[in-house]
Every structure is written in C-alpha cells, then in structure tokens.
A and B are shown apart, each in its own frame.
Chain A
C-alpha cells in the first residue's frame, strides 16, 4: 500500500466511523424529537 493509499484509507476509516455514530444518534433523535427540542429550550 502506498503512502497516499494509506492516507486516503485513514480518512475513509475516520469518515465511516463518524457516519456510524452520527447516524445512530440522528435515528434516536428523529424517533424522539420532542426530547431533543426540550433539551435545546432555555
């Protein structure tokens, strides 16, 4: 694996890890939007 491939691969791993965690949270918030909005209210 070349340096460039290794770097690209590290970016992909990071983006996919974030995508997994983010989508879990988004799904949870979308199923209970009231709770999320109440948390934002002052």
Chain B
C-alpha cells in the first residue's frame, strides 16, 4: 500500500486549491462573527431598555346596567361611554403625562439594583401613531439583551351597577436577544379591572382605590 508523505500535500496545493481554502476560512470566520451575541443559556449582564411611551389615550368605559328588554341599550351605552371618554381625556390630558416615564424609571432602577448594567434607549425611532410598535431589527446596542416595556391600556371602568370606577393599567414586558427568535421573557400584567384572581402575575384593585366620577 502506498503512503503519501506529509510533504506531498504541498504538491497538490495548487493555486486553485489555495484560493478555495482561503474562501472557506473567510466564510467560517464571518459565520462565527454573527454569533458574537450571547448564546442562549448564558447569563445576561447588560440590558438595553426600550422605554414605555406615555399614554396618548385613556380608556373610559361605563357599562350602564341593561334596561329590561330595551334592544338598543348596548349602543346607547357605547355612545355614552365614547362621549365621556372624550371629556375624560380632555381633562386628564390637560396636565403633563409621565406615566410611561415613571414606569420605565422604576423598572430600570430595580434592574440596576439587581446588578445589571442598564442602558435606556431614549432615542429609539417610534411610529407617530403607534409609538410602541418598534422595529427591533433596527436597534443598535452592545447590551446582551433588549427589554421592551409598554403600557398597553390605561383608563377607568365602571360596571354600571355602582357609581365607582376602577382603575385599569395593563402593561407588558419582553426580554430578548437580538437576532434570536425565542424571547427570554414575555409577560402581560394587569392592575385593576382586568386582573384575574387565578393569574398569579395580575394585581387586583385595592378597594379604597375605587374612584367616584360624575356620571353627567
């Protein structure tokens, strides 16, 4: 059986073979570069936070009790709620709104308290009409992961059976590594009206937080 000496490899390394080898090495090096972000399972030490935008509209729902047999009651209630919602928003909107900012500050402070390095992405590009609909692919950060927090709904609700209104604050948080499909964390929270007793993350309204609002 014939054996090739190690030196014989040099004879078969033609210029073409060398070029292919160089191309293969280049391809491998770029493939490795795309995985410079932390791989799944590695602890995250730095987080870039996309801040929650401040609410532009507060929901105001007044589900008046149905009057026996009146077929249009649903629409009457709906229109009534709509006009009250407009008045309510005019009133609430007359003062500076920092709810999203305060929410973000609280999350950032808590995460820093847990030892994470936190960068707040204040200048992230947001669509005017839908400020929380952000293109995550366009975010530039050196942080290990990105956290997108938002307030999905804020407002008041009344069941119609009593004069009290209950606050509604719904929020969500999503933690992910850019370029990876799966989220590390993705949860919705409800405070007040939409909180469910059986959903452990939800926060039920505190009885003394029921608010009386004029129904005129």
Binding site for B on A (CB under 8 A): 3-4, 6-8, 10-27, 29-34, 36-37, 40-41
Contact = CB atoms under 8 A, between A and B. Distances in A.
A6 to B, nearest CB: 6
Interface stretch (B5-13, B24-32, B132-140, B149-157): B149-157
Interface residues of B, number: 47
Contacts of A18: 103, 169, 171, 189, 191, 203
A23 B107 contact: yes
Interface of B: 38, 40-44, 47, 91-92, 95, 99, 102-103, 106-107, 110-111, 114, 116, 145, 147, 149, 151, 154, 156, 167-169, 171, 173, 175, 177, 182-185, 187, 189, 191-192, 201, 203, 206, 209, 211-213
B203 A30 contact: no
A31 B185 CA distance: 11
Contacts of A41: 182
B175 A14 contact: no
A29 B203 contact: no
A40 B169 contact: no
B112 to A, nearest CB: 10
Contacts of B106: 15-16, 19-20, 23
Contacts of B42: 33-34
Given A26-B147, A31-B43, A15 B184 contact: no
Contacts of A30: 43-44, 47, 116, 145, 175, 184-185
A33 B176 CA distance: 10
A26 B201 CA distance: 13
Contacts of A8: 92, 95
